Amino acid sequence: MEVITIAVIIDSELCNGCGICVNYCPMDVIRMDEESQKAITKYLEDCMLCELCVPDCPTNAITVTPEKTAPLMVSWG
């Protein structure tokens, strides 16, 4: 059984709820929480570690941790 560790951390104290990270995430891992109106992570196992969410965050609330390693893609044939 594979253990998935958190790949994306969003600091709820820093997040201003702008939604930029939600729009940039190609895997739909980052969502807006309806209650808090701030970004949260869902389905972390789908995160590709692309870090597209990080550079445009105006409050630097997002950290991508190195604990999750992307599988090596090998093409045979």
For residue 75, the model assigns a pLDDT of: 67
For residue 68, the model assigns a pLDDT of: 55
For residue 8, the model assigns a pLDDT of: 86
Fold classified for 8-64: Alpha-Beta Plaits (3.30.70)
Sorted by where each begins, the domain ranges of the chain are 8-64
Contact 52, 24 (CB under 8 A): yes
Q: In this prediction, what percent of the chain has a pLDDT beyond 70?
A: 77
pTM (2 d.p.): 0.74
Distance CA 26, CA 47 (A): 9
* Residues shown for the chain: 77
For residue 47, the model assigns a pLDDT of: 87
| Below-50 pLDDT ranges, the chain | none
**63: phi then psi, degrees, rounded to nearest 5:** -125, 130
Burial of 58 (0-12, 13-18, 19+ CB in 10 A): exposed
